[in-house]
Structure 1
Amino acid sequence: MSNNDAWMQRDIASLWHPCTQMKDHETLPVTPIRRGRGVWLEDFDGRQYLDAISSWWVNIFGHANERINDRIRAQLDSLEHVILSGFTHQPVIELSERLGQLTPVGLGHCFYADNGSAAVEIALKMSYHYWYNVGRPEKRRFLTITNGYHGETLGALSVGDVAIFTETYRSLLLDVLKVPAPDGFGLPREQWVAEAREKFAHMEAALERHHHELAAVIVEPLIQCAGGMRMYPPEYLGWLREACDRYNVQLIFDEIAVGFGRTGTLFACEQASVRPDYLCLSKAITGGYLPLSVVMTTDEVYDAFYDDYASLRAFLHSHSYTGNPLACAAALATLDIFEQDNVIKANREKADHIEQVTAPLREHPHVGDVRQTGMVVAIEMVRDRATLEPYDFRERRGVRVFRHAMSRGAMLRPLGNVIYWMPPYVIEPGEIDFLAEVTREGLEIATRD
């Protein structure tokens, strides 16, 4: 029995994996990982795999990054954790100050949790509670766009719209308004703005009709990640900010997946020059090391909760590991790397290379779209390129790509029929070329009937 096999057996006997039909592992074994370095992961038998999806979109500066390692080690020697209610510590203060300097002006208050779903729950609760505190309790509903994803807890699921995640739990979810997303699928980039303007008419109409009962609109800026990496232009965000202001509805940006350099700017909302009322951040905030999330908001929101204790206006939301010092230390090291290495400029150069090597895939007879925003590229497989007819999900074409990629030493984990790359920023040009080769081969194998 190989080392991998031994660990696989122990795993299957004791674990229930996330986002997994466990019966699949009868024919598609789990891959035990022993260590990582840079963009590479290594299993217990010594095989290596290029981490093309940043281990679920979190790792941006490579595995076992020495600068992040050193910062966490130093923090271990002084403070591993302390309650953040009534107490504080240096890393969380410094992180809050730096985030306030980096994000759009006015987001000066940080409320911490430990994962993206929790951040979305906080933003939803905070928005509703804001209106309650200012004497508008009827503003309690939320508006979003179709095909979105904001997490797995019930509030986050409610504002999501990816059926495979939400349908089973529909009877438990909030009554949320949804309008068509500004999706550029199948269109040349130069047509994205016109398509988005057409779709924005639905958002405008919903705001006009329901603003009296709406607390907030929530969207993923620029990329709907779990919804198949569907993309739209920044102009939509500008129109949305103006309309929310006009109708007195708050705006939540979920940048959990797209923040920290993924889209070509440090934060996606920069590309529209707009500021949300709530900015949700997580995933890459710690460089992929430790769980941490934050909701950033404005003085106006903060002041609506600031009162004498007896008023019962406080935001009584908490998590045991809120603002964990080790996670904050990892986040500070991550911000240091952005500051010291001119990461955004380097990312733009790598994004240009990614665009060049994936462009030939546009000509494949079973590719309906190759789309890219910053360091994220998606290749969508279709049955019929002319009509964009999709493959039936039960055919599991993406699994064929995954199997082939693993055999070649790359971790590509498609979203249904969508092959995508979201690699660590330390990826080198030769590794990008290797991914293009593996993707092309996987595409050929997956689309054979």
Structure 2
Amino acid sequence: MTDSPVWHPFTQHGLGEPIPLVTHAEGAALYTADGRRIVDAISSWWVTTHGHAHPRIMAAIAEQTTKLDQIIFAGWTHEPAEALARGLRAILPDALTRVFYSDSGSTSVEVALKMALGYFANRGEARSRILVLEHSYHGDTIGAMSVGARGVFNRAYAPLLFDVGTIPFPAAGAEQATLDALEAACRTQPAAFIVEPLLLGAGGMLNYSPQVLAAMRDICTAHGVLFIADEVMTGWGRTGTLLACEQAGVVPEILCLSKGLTGGAVPLAVTMASEGVYQAHLSQDRAAMFFHSSSYTANPIACAAALANLDVWREEPVATRIASLTARQAARLAALDHPRVSAKRQIGTVTALEIADADGGYLSALGPRLLAFFGSRDLLLRPLGNTVYVMPPYCIDDADLDAIYAAIGEACETLD
């Protein structure tokens, strides 16, 4: 579509790259107006878990539209939100007692940061600095950008961003340097440390061990620093377990969830908080309340979709599907043997690798060429520069997986 007035995200329209028109989707495939079937190899930007148009979730959305579409959530409530909160409490760690709704991953992080600062402000403690992990990404609103890596993503907006303390990424062999830096930073009494557990997404699909995650949590606990787990991408089974934090035995004070919360069908997010964080805002003083909302907080239709997603997790063999996809991904990644391929890695259902390129990095010239090449092979694969990753819906079949890895191998052969 070349004459559309739409301004697309993360798209340089000046390059004139084609933008396909998708008419419908089902399972692991997208269908376009020109009759193509596109394999969705990245879950439509990491959101689609069970597959597109899952019948149970679609039916829940349709039913809810006949009952209640939208209602202010400040001082009002509705059953889908109440039932969803109870359902989340039932499957998530007991210490996370409170559920705050918002609209997206970015806003769930904004909520988490405000909760952390409000916690200390209401306790009369002058702790406001936020610690972050190098290469992290937490969203594109101002607070979320502030706690993400600085670079081309947010250079133009630097005057708006607040200062943070950056802890080096725990690369293999350098884990102790990370822990030592976190220990030193925590001695200065920051408010919180925010991390993407086990897997950094937009920072390059970088992973680190559960042992490091647990050690970072222990350091924060020892110094009274709130631990914020951003599981917007890693949650809902992507790393092999419902939450990535499970693999480290870690329970944060604050947890951010979105994307797969509704199975990827409609926007919704939650920020789960410990009772201590909630109690710090509980008062007879109205000035101590938590000052955050949006017009569509806890939208009933979105909550109904999320409730159906919980039903899918409870009543369908989701864990078996995740284990199967993990094994099938591992086999194909191991078989991908090419001199240009390096740093092959996997955690749960997510694989990633680097394709040798003189430029490297997010703005690598190879990135757009890879994107176009995969598109010509009817694949939605969106590399991070010269980093190619595969994160499909759990329902993807072997034929589609084979097509993905065959195309990656072909790209290594044909693209300079």
Shorter-chain TM-score tier: over 0.9
1:400 maps onto 2:373 in alignment:
no
Q: Aligned with 2:204: secondary structure?
A: coil
Q: Aligned letter for 1:403?
A: A
| Whole-Å separation in 2 of the counterparts to 1:195 and 1:375 | 25
- Choose the corresponding residue for 2:326, options 338, 351, 356: 351
| Whole-Å separation in 1 of the counterparts to 2:356 and 2:61 | 45
Taking structure 1 as reference, are residues 17 and 103 closer, same or farther at Cα in structure 2, changes over 3 Å only?
same
Alignment match, 1:20: 11
Alignment match, 1:417: 386
Alignment match, 1:199: 178
Q: 1:31 deviation in Å?
A: 0.8
1:119 maps onto 2:108 in alignment:
yes
- Choose the corresponding residue for 2:308, options 316, 320, 333: 333
Please report the TM-score for the alignment, with normalisation by the length of structure 1: 0.90
Q: Aligned with 1:199: secondary structure?
A: helix
1:134 maps onto 2:127 in alignment:
no
Q: Aligned with 2:2: secondary structure?
A: helix
| Whole-Å separation in 1 of the counterparts to 2:20 and 2:38 | 10
Alignment match, 1:181: 169
Alignment match, 2:348: 374
Q: Aligned with 1:269: secondary structure?
A: helix
Q: 1:270 deviation in Å?
A: 0.5
4+ residue segments displaced more than 6 Å: none
| Whole-Å separation in 1 of the counterparts to 2:83 and 2:402 | 39
| Whole-Å separation in 2 of the counterparts to 1:170 and 1:349 | 43
Q: 1:266 deviation in Å?
A: 0.3
Q: 1:140 deviation in Å?
A: 0.5
String of CA shifts for 1:397-447, please: whole Å, max 9, x gaps.
12222212111111111011111111011111222112111121123223x
Alignment match, 2:279: 303
For structure 1, which runs of at least 5 residues remain unmatched after alignment? 1-7, 184-191, 384-388
| Whole-Å separation in 1 of the counterparts to 2:135 and 2:316 | 35
When the two chains are superposed, the root-mean-square deviation of aligned CA atoms in Å is: 1.5
Alignment match, 2:85: 96
- Choose the corresponding residue for 1:145, options 114, 133, 140: 133
| Whole-Å separation in 2 of the counterparts to 1:110 and 1:408 | 43
More helix by share: 1
String of CA shifts for 1:338-372, please: whole Å, max 9, x gaps.
111221222112111111111133x4222221111
Q: 1:224 deviation in Å?
A: 0.6
Q: Aligned with 2:101: secondary structure?
A: strand
Please report the TM-score for the alignment, with normalisation by the length of structure 2: 0.97
For structure 2, which runs of at least 5 residues remain unmatched after alignment? none
Matches within 5 A, 1:17-416: 17-24=8-15, 26=16, 28-136=17-125, 138-183=126-171, 192=172, 194-208=173-187, 210-211=188-189, 214-310=190-286, 312-361=287-336, 363-383=337-357, 391=360, 395-416=364-385
1:439 maps onto 2:408 in alignment:
yes
Q: Aligned letter for 2:324?
A: E
Q: 1:303 deviation in Å?
A: 0.8
Q: Aligned with 1:164: secondary structure?
A: coil
Q: Aligned with 1:296: secondary structure?
A: strand
> Structure 1 vs Structure 2: percent identity of aligned residues?
41
Q: Aligned with 2:152: secondary structure?
A: helix
Taking structure 1 as reference, are residues 393 and 296 closer, same or farther at Cα in structure 2, changes over 3 Å only?
closer
Q: Aligned with 2:96: secondary structure?
A: coil
Q: Aligned letter for 1:143?
A: L
Q: 1:256 deviation in Å?
A: 0.5
| Whole-Å separation in 1 of the counterparts to 2:349 and 2:100 | 28
State whether residues 196 and 233 of structure 1, in contact with CA within 8 Å, keep that contact through their aligned partners in structure 2: no
String of CA shifts for 1:254-302, please: whole Å, max 9, x gaps.
0011100000000111011111010000111111111111100011111
Q: Aligned letter for 2:384?
A: L
| Whole-Å separation in 2 of the counterparts to 1:392 and 1:41 | 28
Q: 1:390 deviation in Å?
A: 5.6
State whether residues 355 and 387 of structure 2, in contact with CA within 8 Å, keep that contact through their aligned partners in structure 1: yes
Q: Aligned with 1:163: secondary structure?
A: coil
State whether residues 400 and 445 of structure 1, in contact with CA within 8 Å, keep that contact through their aligned partners in structure 2: no
State whether residues 401 and 443 of structure 1, in contact with CA within 8 Å, keep that contact through their aligned partners in structure 2: no
| Whole-Å separation in 1 of the counterparts to 2:362 and 2:123 | 47
State whether residues 81 and 325 of structure 1, in contact with CA within 8 Å, keep that contact through their aligned partners in structure 2: yes
State whether residues 263 and 309 of structure 2, in contact with CA within 8 Å, keep that contact through their aligned partners in structure 1: yes
| Whole-Å separation in 2 of the counterparts to 1:331 and 1:345 | 20
Q: 1:392 deviation in Å?
A: 6.4
Q: Aligned letter for 1:9?
A: T
Q: Aligned letter for 2:79?
A: Q
Q: Aligned letter for 2:380?
A: M
